[in-house]
Structure 1
Amino acid sequence: MTSRPESRITRALASKKKPDKVQAAALQKTGQNAYKNGDVKGAIESFTKALAADNEDIGVLDNRAAAYCKLKLYSPARSDARAMVKLAPKDDRGYLRLAKVLCLDGNFDKAQVIYEYALQKLPANHAGRDVVMQSLKKLQDKLAGGNRRDPFTALPLEVADLILSYLSFKQIAAIMRVCQGWRRFLIGLSNLWMHVDLTGARSRVPWTSVRDYIHRSRVQVTNATIANVCNSATPKVLQMLSRCPKLEHLEFQVFCGPRDFYPKIQEFRHLKTLVCGPDIKISHACVGSILSTLTKLEKATFFHVWDRITQVPQPTPTWPTYLPNLKSLTLGCSQDSRISLTSTHTFGDVVPGLTSSVYPNLEELRLLWNTARSRHYEFCPMRGDGEELPILPPLRTLDLRGAVIEPRFYSLLPATLESLRVESSGVTDDSLHMYDNKLRNLKTLIFNECLWINNDSLIIFASRSEAPLETLHINFCHKADYAGLSRLLLTPGAMERSRGLTELCVACMDGLDDYAMKEVSERLPNLSVLDLSQTKITGCTIRLFADARKDGTKVAQLDVLIIRGCDAVSRDAIDYGRQMGIKIIT
């Protein structure tokens, strides 16, 4: 029984017989002539005999691989090409032949790998590098479609890196799935993996993926937003993040048990931002302990402070007495069976010692009780010496939900304030005391469900404060009506400042009708967002603003109009307003 040519050449390659280069050259010439004359099988037989005479001639292997490709026998062709690479790793012919065979067989990604591998192995001054590079670019163009080029190879590395820095973590993860070449390129750029953000994941993210992301960054992660992770995996994720010495920003939006979270989080000594989502229940004492331990914190957010704060007005031992780096503090609380529904906490227990001496650089303070109720806590900062008013930190943003305020609330506000939001709030007295306090930086003023807001208090906040308001919300404040709003818009000085108002929300305000809105549209020409929910307007108001966009008059040209619960507005008027380019929310 005769053996196959491939078997014979394999034995020949393995033998130690001295090569007969003269005979091999003659047989190679015979095979080349047979190939030119169309006798491909005869050519293969001659090339096989030539290899039996000289098993180290990669030229003969190249000829036989080409002949195999002519007959579409790609498997033996790949074997010959691999033998060429093994015999002469510094010769470009083996890489070119192997990549070509892979392309003919439809394995374009593997062919690209071979070209890239050849560029790594061939010396920098090798004459064949240019041919390999040109072949690689042609293949990349083909994979990209037509004349388009792969940006990661056509662009300089610095430019490609700069472009990728503008993409989100989710987009980077999607790019990795395009092809193996892009995946290898992105994995090699460790700076792309400095920010792990799992908020856009479509399904639960295994902890092993987080481990891989951290490894790609070379354990240099600086930002981490953890979400969409199974509860059982959060301790492992937290443990892996603790190994990143440069981690400065951490946001946890998944459940983590107290035994795993509290001790471990205090090991993150370099944190500047810590956000604990509503799924992480944390005690008031533990908040103070974390603030005391993580002294570099600039932003601290705790959305679920669950335990009952003491009713005795005394400093909490675990709460720090000096926080020079803290710029933003948010304390949130969700209704819980362990929280008293009848008692009111004093402000000194919620945020001990809120003065500029303890929080010298605090710019944002948010106290968010949900569901907000006007008797959750008192916003009554401790007095200074005697009856002197306390000096609050240089706040730029103050957000109070579920607070009861004292009559001197207006006087407590710092002159640096830019945004004030008060929601579901009560007052310890019937009215607000008037003090000489100017809020010349206040641009955003929001009152939602505040029973103590009336026409007089509106004048104090929006007129006497000399605030250059751009956003004004007076929603469900039933003691304030359009008469007070109109008086505010006509007050000397306030009328000029109110012309810069771009957003006005007056849901459920008494006295608002079509005539009143005509007056508002003339006095507020820069208005772009308007909320008239649960008011008495009709379709005439919509037509007024819609015609203003069409005619280009000095009347306010709205972009967004909210009319929830406005039963007198017809469908035709809504359709007309939308045709004129107004986004109408019903």
Structure 2
Amino acid sequence: MSRHTISPDEYLELGRNYYKQKNYEKAIEAFTHGIEASETPLITLLDYRAASYIKNENSNAALKDARDMIRMHKKDIRGYLRTASLLEKTEKFDTALNIYAYGKKNVPTTDKNYKLLQQLHDKLTRKISPPTSVDPFTILPPELIDMVLDYLGFRNMVRCLPVSKGWKTYICGRPSLWTNLDLSLARKDVSRAFVRDAVKRSRGAITHATFHRFYHTDMLKRIPPACKQLGHLEFLSGRSMSDTFIEMAKGAPNLKKLVVHVEVTLDTITQVLRHRPTLEHVEFLNLGHSTVPANWTGPFPDLKSISLHPGDQATRFALLNLPAFLAKAPSLRTLSLTNWAGPIDRRFDPSTATLTHLNLTNLGLESIPPLPPTLTHLTLTPRRRICFSNTRPYTLNAQSWLNITLASLPNLTHLSLSRIILDGIDFFSLFLDMYEPEDDDNNGMAPQLTSIPDTAPLQHLSLREIEYPEPYTLFGPTGYLSQSKRILTPSLESLKITNTPITDNDIDDLLLSAPYPNLHTVDLSVTHITGASVKTLVDNLPALRDIVLNDCPNIVDREAVDYALGRGIGVMRVSRVGAGSGRKLALGSRSVRHG
């Protein structure tokens, strides 16, 4: 290098001048002297010499310089762009694609031209790939196309109609794709023409229909006679539709399920059931104000499930006339009553029915009614707290205690209790393990209780706003829950103890009571536990999938939450940030502020 009298940078500048003058021979000579004068040639020298070789139509020499750029400056994007470009010009597309891929691996993503490298790679990939503009509807078998469209859902299937004439012809010509008329995701009012066309496309074979933002009641009444197989109806919105529901019930001979979120009266419900005795499952979730007691003419031989939830202007419970209803629904298995005003009718005796699911939520329960022995799921949430005591001289509370102790619930696996005050430590034992035999004649004396044979252990337990006197606890050898053999067992799958002053000591006692190989969900919202309990649960519950920690004031940082997340466990945490400041929702590792 001693023969060179000027620096590589000066040779670079000299070569640039020759290049601008289109004197490529002189430019190549200058860039070559600059490369020879360098221990590691500047990539700019190599790049300019390659460009000069290209102008001089010496592609092989240019490609050699381009490859040297990559070899000597692996992280610089210019070598990959120059090399791949030359390879593409000689139609060596596969090799060029490999160069782009190699560049994506070595060039930092922070490089301002990295996006260009990605785009060129993708463009070449599309160029050398087989043609992809083949309409899948022309090559896939109809059965597979139907599966894809069914997976998309009704709304997305409808959005496929304008794609092409072929798509529209296929979709409109397949009646099986229109048997589930689902308008639940409608974002604007649905036209009369759309529903008319949907019925025609189904060829009268609609079996499921969900209506939302569709207000043409005259057309609704014509759908059941046109679709004799209609078995499932749901209404998410509507206006003054009582007459419509009755007419549709009359015209739907195979209707099995009816779910109504639109306001209706008790009289409408009784008429719907009278005109459509084939119904098996009904939910009326917005009962309007009524002044006339329900007239259940019946019978309702097929009815298996009914849910009755008043709206804002709650109908009084006494107007339900449930004793008459239960007498006419021999097949009823599920009864759900929520938010009814006024005290419960004392004649209400669900023990006469063969119910498996009973949900009494936010009702004016003054005492717990007699319970059927067939129950598998029980939810009791009185509007006001009830004290269960065999020592306090309160007539109504004594009746609740009597009904609890007399109950025989051998099949109960799901129990949810809220807003109760526990007095006697043996409450859960009497409730779940003991009963009074039907033929027991106690002659007015206290009932003679015996153990319930062949009981099922609880799989799901939920306790909310449960009060009990000190020094008693829920867990531990002398705790309330430990008095029954059916609660703290290996069969337990979900446990929700919320709005209750349990602490870390209670969690330790819980885990000492039994192994829980199946416990996958734990909800400890509004309790006094700390992050130590969270870690303890994570370490000792092998099946744990989800833990809920809403409003736990003693969990002051994210360490325990992050520990659970790191073990693959979902964490829901809602914390009040302060008065007037909204709430902060942390779900998994994300946080969202709700104002």
TM-score range, shorter chain: 0.5 to 0.7
The partner residue of 2:547 within 557, 561, 570 is 561
Partner in structure 2 of residue 418 of structure 1: 376
- Superposition pairs of residues 318-467 of structure 1, within 5 angstroms: 318-336=295-313, 339=315, 345-346=317-318, 349-355=320-326, 357-369=327-339, 375-378=342-345, 380-381=347-348, 392-405=352-365, 409=369, 412-425=370-383, 428-430=396-398, 431-433=400-402, 434-450=404-420, 456-464=426-434, 466-467=455-456
The partner residue of 1:513 within 503, 509, 524 is 503
Secondary structure of 1:191 counterpart: helix
Secondary structure of 1:398 counterpart: strand
Give 1:503's aligned amino acid.
S
**Residue 501 in structure 1 maps to residue 492 in structure 2:** yes
Q: Provide structure 1 residue ranges, at least 5 long, that are not aligned to the other structure.
A: 1-141, 383-389, 549-553
The partner residue of 2:522 within 524, 530, 537 is 530
Secondary structure of 2:203 counterpart: coil
1:268 Cα offset (Å): 2.6
Secondary structure of 1:516 counterpart: helix
CA distance in 1, matches of 2:411, 2:427: 18
**Residue 282 in structure 1 maps to residue 272 in structure 2:** no
- The 3 A distance-change label for structure 1 pair 364 and 263 is closer
CA distance in 2, matches of 1:175, 1:379: 57
1:501 Cα offset (Å): 0.9
1:239 Cα offset (Å): 3.8
Secondary structure of 1:378 counterpart: coil
- More divergent stretch after superposition (170-179 vs 531-540): 170-179
The partner residue of 1:584 within 559, 565, 571 is 571
- Given that 1:419 and 1:444 are in contact with CA atoms closer than 8 Å, whether structure 2 keeps it comes out as yes
Secondary structure of 1:476 counterpart: strand
Give 1:470's aligned amino acid.
Q
- More divergent stretch after superposition (533-542 vs 199-208): 199-208
- The 3 A distance-change label for structure 1 pair 309 and 441 is farther
Secondary structure of 1:303 counterpart: strand
- The 3 A distance-change label for structure 1 pair 516 and 429 is closer
1:294 Cα offset (Å): 0.9
How large is the RMSD of aligned CA atoms in angstroms? 3.3
CA distance in 2, matches of 1:225, 1:272: 13
| Percent of paired sites with the same residue | 24
Give 1:268's aligned amino acid.
G
Partner in structure 1 of residue 586 of structure 2: none
Secondary structure of 2:282 counterpart: strand
- Given that 1:297 and 1:326 are in contact with CA atoms closer than 8 Å, whether structure 2 keeps it comes out as yes
1:215 Cα offset (Å): 1.3
Partner in structure 1 of residue 69 of structure 2: none
Partner in structure 1 of residue 200 of structure 2: 215
Secondary structure of 2:353 counterpart: coil
- The 3 A distance-change label for structure 1 pair 211 and 451 is farther
Give 2:551's aligned amino acid.
G
- Superposition pairs of residues 104-143 of structure 1, within 5 angstroms: none
- The 3 A distance-change label for structure 1 pair 247 and 509 is same
1:325 Cα offset (Å): 0.9
Q: TM-score, normalised by structure 2?
A: 0.61
Give 1:400's aligned amino acid.
L
The partner residue of 1:307 within 279, 289, 298 is 289
- Given that 1:456 and 1:484 are in contact with CA atoms closer than 8 Å, whether structure 2 keeps it comes out as no
- Given that 2:405 and 2:431 are in contact with CA atoms closer than 8 Å, whether structure 1 keeps it comes out as no
1:285 Cα offset (Å): 2.0
- Given that 1:284 and 1:309 are in contact with CA atoms closer than 8 Å, whether structure 2 keeps it comes out as no
- Given that 1:222 and 1:248 are in contact with CA atoms closer than 8 Å, whether structure 2 keeps it comes out as yes
- The 3 A distance-change label for structure 1 pair 262 and 275 is closer
- More divergent stretch after superposition (417-426 vs 358-367): 417-426
- Given that 1:508 and 1:534 are in contact with CA atoms closer than 8 Å, whether structure 2 keeps it comes out as yes
CA distance in 1, matches of 2:143, 2:241: 44
Q: TM-score, normalised by structure 1?
A: 0.62
1:559 Cα offset (Å): 1.8
Give 2:196's aligned amino acid.
R
1:85-109 CA distances to partner (integer Å, 9 max, x unpaired)? xxxxxxxxxxxxxxxxxxxxxxxxx
Give the count of matched residue pairs: 410
1:170-228 CA distances to partner (integer Å, 9 max, x unpaired)? 34324434433222112111011011011123333223211211111112211100013
1:362-411 CA distances to partner (integer Å, 9 max, x unpaired)? 11111122xx66x45336425xxxxxxx75222121111233446563xx
Secondary structure of 2:250 counterpart: coil
CA distance in 1, matches of 2:423, 2:237: 38
- The 3 A distance-change label for structure 1 pair 492 and 276 is closer
Partner in structure 2 of residue 204 of structure 1: 189
Give 1:532's aligned amino acid.
L
Secondary structure of 1:291 counterpart: helix
Partner in structure 2 of residue 13 of structure 1: none
1:262 Cα offset (Å): 4.8
1:117-171 CA distances to partner (integer Å, 9 max, x unpaired)? xxxxxxxxxxxxxxxxxxxxxxxxx9x9736865544344345445655553234
Q: Provide structure 2 residue ranges, at least 5 long, that are not aligned to the other structure.
A: 1-126, 387-395, 435-451, 574-595
**Residue 468 in structure 1 maps to residue 457 in structure 2:** yes
- Superposition pairs of residues 180-259 of structure 1, within 5 angstroms: 180-229=165-214, 231=215, 233-258=216-241
Secondary structure of 1:332 counterpart: strand
- Superposition pairs of residues 146-165 of structure 1, within 5 angstroms: 146=131, 151-161=136-146, 164-165=149-150
CA distance in 2, matches of 1:456, 1:235: 60
CA distance in 2, matches of 1:558, 1:148: 47
Partner in structure 1 of residue 93 of structure 2: none
CA distance in 2, matches of 1:366, 1:238: 28
CA distance in 2, matches of 1:467, 1:379: 30
CA distance in 2, matches of 1:350, 1:407: 18
- Given that 2:428 and 2:484 are in contact with CA atoms closer than 8 Å, whether structure 1 keeps it comes out as no
- The 3 A distance-change label for structure 1 pair 308 and 516 is same
- The 3 A distance-change label for structure 1 pair 460 and 164 is farther
Partner in structure 2 of residue 574 of structure 1: 561
Partner in structure 2 of residue 296 of structure 1: 278
- More divergent stretch after superposition (556-565 vs 449-458): 449-458
CA distance in 1, matches of 2:433, 2:469: 15
- The 3 A distance-change label for structure 1 pair 391 and 538 is closer
- Given that 1:405 and 1:425 are in contact with CA atoms closer than 8 Å, whether structure 2 keeps it comes out as yes
Partner in structure 1 of residue 449 of structure 2: none
